Structure 1
């Protein structure tokens, strides 16, 4: 078995998903010996832990793989771009809605104050 370790491949580099900091894609700890082997944009990085994998790839615990491959379990959180967008959009909509409601309330307060001023002036 293997576990995702919260990294993906972009522009030929391994990046941590949260910070986008670069990992060394030339590491000798990878299952593929040459940069570019099996590495395609969007690939994820996993940590091999099964006895069979460790025997087959001695000293090579890191394995790039297709992120849609569901044979790997998350070791730590995996963030999908679509999920980030889904989380971001409702917040933007909420923020816009709140701004609109505040503007409406301010307008209503001004209307009420104008009505009070007119009422006082009339008496």
Structure 2
């Protein structure tokens, strides 16, 4: 009853990006059975620190941070420093991420319109 997770993402001013992060947080909460709140490194609120404090105020004093970053870097490092304890590493090093990228690439190849080469562009 004291556990929760903060889903740390880069952040964006784009509403679709925020909605995606909130959807991922909801899916993670359903999977883990604990509250999962999204937090952001930039351009959106709350920050990871703010989310951890808000959870603690609600009695959720054991907050882990789930990194929703594809690679190590400034944002991932800042969010990890704000974690009160457990923090996951960036997603990019996990084999499932490589499989997902290959799957999306294959999908794009099957659905993409042919790209005109330089000769076709010169006659257009």
TM normalised by structure 1 equals 0.25
Greater C-alpha radius of gyration = 1
When you count helix as a share of all residues, which structure comes out higher? 2
TM-score calculated relative to the size of structure 2: 0.25
More strand by share: 1
